[in-house]
Chain A
Amino acid sequence: MKKLASFKSLREDFKIEDILDAFFGALLFATILFLPVYLIAFEMIIVYMYRLTLLVVLIIIALFGYIALLHYFWKKSLTLKNKEIKTDINKLFLKNTLIINAVILVLGLIFIFVLIPALWV
C-alpha cells in the first residue's frame, strides 16, 4: 500500500502532543548544535565586512543545514516514539525542508540585493 506523505496522515500516527514534543526536542538539539556555527558566521561577518555578500551566502547555506538538521532530529524523535509509522515521513519532511529552504533563499536574496545596500548608510 502506498504511504501518504502529509501532516494529516502523520496526525493519524501520533497525537498532536507527541508531534509537538518531537518538534521542540528537535528544535532544541538543532539550535544547540548550530549555535557555534551561527556565532562563527556572525563574527566572521563583523571581521570580514568587506566580504559581506559572500558571508551572507554562507549564512544562507548554514540556514539550509539548520533546517535539514531540525527535520532530521524531528524525524528521529518521531521514529523513536513509534517505529511503525504508516506515513511516508522521509518524503513528508524532505518536502517540508525544501519548501522552507526555498523561502529562506528568497529572503536571503532580498537581504543581499535590497537590505544590505539600504542598511549601510
Chain B
Amino acid sequence: MNELFKHYKNYILLLVIPYLMIMFILVYPIDFNLQSPGGLTEVENLIEVDYNNDKSIEGTISTTYIISLKRPTYFQFMLGTFTDYSTISVLTGSNLTYTNEEIATISYLDKAISVDASVIVAYQLAADSNSDIVIDYVAKTMVYGKAEYLDHYEDIAFGDQFVKLIGDNDYEVTEIAEIAANTVLEESYDWVFINEDDEQYTVSLSKDEEYGLFGITLKTYYIVDKETTYPSYTESNSNIGGPSGGLLQTLSIYNMLVTDDLTHGLKIAGTGTITYDGTVGYIGGVEQKIITAYLNKVDLFFMPSLDENYYYDNYQEALRVCEEYGIEPDGWLIPVGTFAEALDYLEGLN
C-alpha cells in the first residue's frame, strides 16, 4: 500500500483540494425542494383482494409517483436545472423544520391512510350491489404534526394514536374538538398515546409561552378492521409515499370486487386523493405527474377537477402542462370531482 502512496504522492497532493470540493458539491444539502417525473405503480402489485380470482383484467390501473426531493445536494440542484421536466422551489413551511426522515415518515403515513380510505370507499360502493361484501373500520386519532417547541418531541412519534388527555377538572378528553375547551386552566396536561408497538405511554405536555399551543397536530382517520372485513385483502410493502394515489387505488380495488372489467384493456393512470365520502382531493406536483404519464404512454389520465375552494387549480395547471408539452388533453386528461364520476366515465367507455 505504501508504495502506491509514494508513487502517486504528487498526484494526491495536486488533487486533494479539487477532490474535496467535488465531494462538497455532491454531499452538502441545501434547503430546496426538487420535483422530477417518476413512474407508474400498478395498484394490483400493492393491494390484492382475494375475490373474483378467475376474473381476467385486460388493462391496468396505476398510481403515478414523482420524485420529490427535499434538501437536494448542490449537484442534484444543478441536475434539476438541466431538464425542463424538473421544478425547483425553496423549501417552506413545516418541510423546513422537519428532517428528511420525518418528512418520509409522514409521507408513508399518508400512504397507509390513503390505502385504508380507498378500501373503505371501494368496498362500501361494491357492497351496495353485493351483500357478500362487508367493510368494517374504526376511527383513530393519530399524531400528524409536531412543532419544534413540542415537549417530549422525541418520545412522540408520527402515527402514534392519541387515546386521551386529562383536562381541566380531571375531565378525560378523547375527541380533538374537545381539547381546546378543556385545556384552559393549567399550563401542562397529561396526554396518553399508544405507539406502534401497541404500548400505552403518558407524557406531560406544556403550552408554548409564545404561541399558547401544545405544538401537536392530531387527525382522525378510519382504519379498516381486517378481521371482519370481507373479502380479505393483502397489502405489499411500498417504498412510495403520499396520499395522491387514493383515487386510482379506489378504482383498482373496486375493479377487483365487481364482475365487469372497468379497464376495457386500457392503460389507466391518474392522481388525486380520496376522502371517505368519495370526493377526489387536490394534489401537488401536477406538471411532473402529467409528464410521467405521458412518458409512460398511458391511455387515460384522471385528474382532480376544478374546485372553487382552492386558489390553486390542479386541472388548469394540467391543461397548461399539456399545452406546453404538446399533449392533446381531449379524451386523455379526465377531470373528476368524485370517485363516482371516474366510475361513470369508465363504465361509459365502449
* Extra contacts besides A43-B79, A49-B67, A73-B4 (19): CB < 8 Å: A22-B1, A28-B1, A35-B23, A36-B19, A36-B22, A39-B26, A39-B27, A40-B75, A49-B37, A50-B36, A50-B292, A76-B4, A76-B7, A77-B3, A119-B239, A120-B39, A120-B239, A121-B41, A121-B237
Which B residues, 293 to 310, have Cβ-Cβ distances below 8 Å to chain A? 295
Please give the distance in Å from B273's CB to the nearest CB on chain A.
19
Q: How far is it, in angstroms, between the C-alpha of A47 and the C-alpha of B8 when the chains are bound? A: 35
Q: In the A-B complex, list the 4 residue pairs whose CB atoms are closest, starting with the nearest.
A: A25-B1, A80-B3, A39-B26, A50-B37
Interface residue A69 (Cβ < 8 Å from any Cβ of B): no
Given A25-B1, A36-B22, A50-B37: A121 and B75 within 8 A (CB)?
Answer: no
Chain A residues with Cβ under 8 A from B2's Cβ?
Answer: 25
Show 29 A/B contacts (Cβ-Cβ < 8 Å), sorted by A: A21-B1, A25-B5, A26-B4, A29-B4, A35-B23, A36-B22, A36-B23, A39-B75, A40-B26, A43-B76, A46-B69, A46-B76, A47-B80, A48-B83, A49-B36, A49-B38, A50-B37, A50-B85, A50-B291, A50-B295, A52-B39, A76-B4, A76-B7, A119-B239, A120-B39, A121-B41, A121-B237, A121-B238, A121-B240
Partner of A43, one of B4, B23, B75, B295: B75
- The SS class assigned to the A binding surface is helix
Which residues of A come within 8 Å of B, CB atoms? 21-22, 24-26, 28-29, 35-36, 39-40, 43-44, 46-50, 52, 73, 76-77, 80-81, 119-121
Q: How far is it, in angstroms, between the C-alpha of A63 and the C-alpha of B305 when the chains are bound? A: 47
Contact code string B9-27 (vs A, CB < 8 Å = 1, else 0): 0000000000100110011
B26 touches A44 (CB 8 A): no
Q: How far is it, in angstroms, between the C-alpha of A36 and the C-alpha of B74 when the chains are bound? A: 13
Interface residue B45 (Cβ < 8 Å from any Cβ of A): yes
Chain B residue nearest in CB terms to A35: B23
Chain B residue nearest in CB terms to A118: B45
Q: How far is it, in angstroms, between the C-alpha of A76 and the C-alpha of B26 when the chains are bound? A: 30
Q: How far is it, in angstroms, between the C-alpha of A46 and the C-alpha of B291 when the chains are bound? A: 16
Q: How far is it, in angstroms, between the C-alpha of A68 and the C-alpha of B34 when the chains are bound? A: 35
Chain A residues with Cβ under 8 A from B340's Cβ?
Answer: none
Chain A residue nearest in CB terms to B288: A50
Interface residue B255 (Cβ < 8 Å from any Cβ of A): no
Total number of residue pairs linking A and B with CB closer than 8 Å: 82
A48 touches B79 (CB 8 A): yes
A121 touches B46 (CB 8 A): yes
Chain B residue nearest in CB terms to A52: B39
Interface residue B249 (Cβ < 8 Å from any Cβ of A): no
Contact code string B227-255 (vs A, CB < 8 Å = 1, else 0): 00000000011111000000000000000
B292 touches A81 (CB 8 A): no
Which B residues, 48 to 95, have Cβ-Cβ distances below 8 Å to chain A? 67, 69, 72-73, 75-76, 79-80, 83, 85-86
Partner of A47, one of B1, B19, B23, B79: B79
Contact code string B122-147 (vs A, CB < 8 Å = 1, else 0): 00000000000000000000000000
B67 touches A46 (CB 8 A): yes
Chain B residue nearest in CB terms to A26: B4
Chain B residues with Cβ under 8 A from A47's Cβ?
Answer: 34, 36, 67, 69, 72, 76, 79-80, 86
Chain B residues with Cβ under 8 A from A76's Cβ?
Answer: 4, 7
Please give the distance in Å from B34's CB to the nearest CB on chain A.
7
Given A29-B4, A43-B26: A120 and B79 within 8 A (CB)?
Answer: no
Chain A residue nearest in CB terms to B237: A121
Chain B residues with Cβ under 8 A from A35's Cβ?
Answer: 23
Given A46-B67, A120-B239: A80 and B79 within 8 A (CB)?
Answer: no
Chain A residues with Cβ under 8 A from B39's Cβ?
Answer: 49-50, 52, 120
Q: How far is it, in angstroms, between the C-alpha of A91 and the C-alpha of B19 when the chains are bound? A: 32
Chain A residues with Cβ under 8 A from B72's Cβ?
Answer: 43, 47
Q: How far is it, in angstroms, between the C-alpha of A105 and the C-alpha of B79 when the chains are bound? A: 27
